[in-house]
Amino acid sequence: MVSRQLSILVPLYNEEELVGELLRRVIEAPLPGGLTREIIVVNDCSKDDSAAVVTDFIAANPAHKIRLFHHEKNQGKGAAIRTAIGLAEGEFSVIQDSDLEYDPNDFMHLLGPLVSGKADVVFGSRFLISGERRVLYYWHSLANHLLTTLCNIVSDLNLTDMETCYKAFRTTLAQSIPIQSDRFGLEPELTIKFARRKARIYETPISYHGRTYEEGKKIGLKDAFEAVWVILRSKFTKQLYKDHGPEVLDAMALAPKFNKWMADTISPWAGKKVLEIGAGVGNMTRQLAPKRKLYVASDLDPEHLAQLKNAFGHRPTMRIAHLDATLPEHFEPWAGQLDTVVCLNVLEHIEDDFGTLRRIYSLLEPGGRLLLLVPQGPEAYGALDAAIGHFRRYTIPGLSELVKSAGYELEDMLTFNRISYPGWRFTGQVMKTANLSPLGMRIFDKFVWLWRRIDKSLPWPPASIIAIARRPD
């Protein structure tokens, strides 16, 4: 369980002279919003006594939560941060180099937009107007500016300092991103992936006390060339999520005409007080929420909930709710208050589908409807189904019996999206592909006007079936 605390991520390599003082400053730095702190130090196989200094510091400060981890061989800053992010338990995290170039007293400014809920990511910029910064290498500054500009072009941001160490972020966001860079390529990789994940990114000025190469500065020309390569790689990479499910939702977001087709199919049955189970990133919420007196967009994934709040939290008739369809207590706040529950491409992800239907039943007022869409055809189950966590695909008779056994009156059973059925089988069973192609989704979406016209006349089964079920009066 993520707690209301800050995880301070400290990559450590050959800093025995400075790391003790750095840790002292970190534990003394004020934090906003009543946050507590944990410090995660990842020793990247230092050749000096850095690890021993940290061990002694931990022993001398037992009241503070400080954890030390070791890499068996030197891998680089990116690898150390990757390890630290995976171990973080705080609601927010911040990267803190183990030298003294960055001042932990800037945590107050850096974390403010995160704690207030305005931002998902905050960069501490050395080049915005701030209190003070040490004047050092022109060529280093120029390279930073060029790399930041290139990164901005690729990510469509307007940052002033992409290469800054001080990046603070919601922990679960970073934990959901696969980090590939082992060295300083971490900086542009995280920046571009945050941008491609549509995170709300802020900048705030910070102080900077840079050091010379004689004083131990580690980044060099080789790292600048690596950064260029990482920027170009991150522009086109598909490695934006660790799990396949969110990748599929992202691909579906590229098909707004298809989403509207689905929404138009079920909208005539929807009432004014609606709860959507498994709203994801809001692909269907966008289509269904307008003109409702109450629309509750629910999900169990913290990143989906964050995106839903970003997109819809300002609307007065919208509510964003954490709801795990397998837990009865999550249904209690809405019991008997809704005239419609929308459950699209969710039930197949739940092992106990009967129990879930009964819990949904409790949400509906008498006469309320469940609009339930599930994948059709057990014979079509393939690699893509397995990758996104489908327990099953349904048949029309099987779904009808399941819905009736859960206490509903079945008003209608609709078929939907025959056009996709052959492609789904080919992709998942012949090609054994575990994700949807974004380019393919864009092309498919351009022809939805045609698919809508010919769908019912196609001679093969539908990809999905829709049950319109009613709670008896």
Q: Where are the domains of the chain?
A: 3-239, 245-470
List, in sequence order, every residue forming a beta bridge with 204; answer none if it has no partner: 124
Q: What are 35's two structure tokens?
A: 């946050």
The pTM is what?
0.81
Q: What are 75's two structure tokens?
A: 């891998």
Q: Max Cα separation, the chain? A: 81
CA 16-20-23 angle, to 5 degrees, is: 130
For the domain 3-239, what is the CATH code?
A: 3.90.550.10
Which of 389, 403, 383, 176 shows the shortest CA–CA distance to 278? Answer: 389
Phi, psi of 337 (to 5 degrees): -105, 0
Q: What are 255's two structure tokens?
A: 């098909």
The pLDDT tens digits along the chain (473 residues) read 445 899 999 999 999 999 999 999 999 999 998 899 999 999 999 999 999 999 999 999 999 999 999 999 999 999 999 999 999 999 999 999 999 999 999 999 999 999 998 999 999 998 886 555 555 556 667 777 899 999 999 999 999 999 999 999 999 999 999 999 999 899 999 999 999 998 999 999 998 886 555 544 556 667 778 888 999 999 888 888 887 666 676 777 789 999 999 999 999 999 999 999 999 989 999 999 999 999 999 999 988 998 899 889 889 999 999 999 999 999 999 999 999 999 999 999 999 999 999 999 999 999 999 999 999 999 999 999 998 899 999 999 999 999 999 999 999 999 999 999 999 999 999 999 877 788 889 999 999 999 999 999 999 999 999 999 999 98
Phi, psi of 298 (to 5 degrees): -120, 155
Phi, psi of 238 (to 5 degrees): -95, 0
For the domain 245-470, what is the CATH code?
A: 3.40.50.150
